[in-house]
Amino acid sequence: MGFKQVPKGLALALTIAVFGSGCAADSNAPAAAATGAHSVPAAQADAHAGNGPHAHDAAHATEHGQADMDFPVDEGHQFWTPDAPLVEGMSRIRAAIAGLEADPDPATVVARASDVDAAIGDIFTHCKLDIEPDIALHAILARIMAATQALHANPVDASPVADLRAAVVNYEALFDDPND
């Protein structure tokens, strides 16, 4: 499956449309917006992890071919520095994907997809980034959530694993993660 690269403006608009009501909706939103940080209560982290309203958004993006799009990497892009929770969460996501590399049984597929969802929930709960890298991260995590949702729905179809890998490659092209 070939992956498309979309213009940065379109990717930003898509991300804002998908997550516009999510992360900044907590009681700390003014402080978070002022600092460029991103803080999410546990209930909203669950929503981002595929157990709430954003699960529909991820499915909707998948239906319209948007989940397989790379977040654009501008020529001469200066890598963004991930914070410790993001580095740890992405390491957990990579480990779960590695568990899907062999031809696992459906129960293992569901377990590894759940591991990815838990890591995403922790990223949303603890990660704090400036606005531009946060928007890019949301787009990447939406793509990952769409893939795990597909794995939960049909654990015998391994095709979403390729999109998981591609989303991690997109993340690694944008962030200076010491574990990639």
Span 160-174, pLDDT tens digits: 999 999 999 999 999
What pLDDT score was predicted for residue 104?
Answer: 87
Buried b (16+ CB within 10 A) or exposed e, 90-102: bebbbebbebbee
Q: Is residue 13 situated within a structural domain?
A: no
Q: Is residue 44 situated within a structural domain?
A: yes
Sheet strands (E) in 39-170: 69-70
Q: Is residue 21 situated within a structural domain?
A: no
The residues with which 4 forms a beta bridge, in sequence order, are: 69
Q: Is residue 54 situated within a structural domain?
A: yes
Report the alpha-carbon distance of residue 45 to residue 48 in Å, rounded. 5
What pLDDT score was predicted for residue 68?
Answer: 55
- pTM for the whole structure: 0.66
The residue range of the domain holding 94 is: 40-63+79-180
Instruction: State the Rg of the chain over Cα.
Output: 15
> What backbone phi and psi angles, to 5 degrees, belong to 7?
-60, 145
Q: Is residue 7 situated within a structural domain?
A: no
Can you give the pLDDT of all 180 residues of the chain as single tens digits? 444 444 444 444 444 444 443 343 333 333 333 333 333 333 333 333 344 333 334 443 444 344 457 888 888 889 999 999 999 999 999 999 999 987 789 999 999 999 999 999 999 999 999 999 999 999 999 999 999 999 999 999 999 999 999 999 999 999 999 998
Count of domains observed in the chain: 1
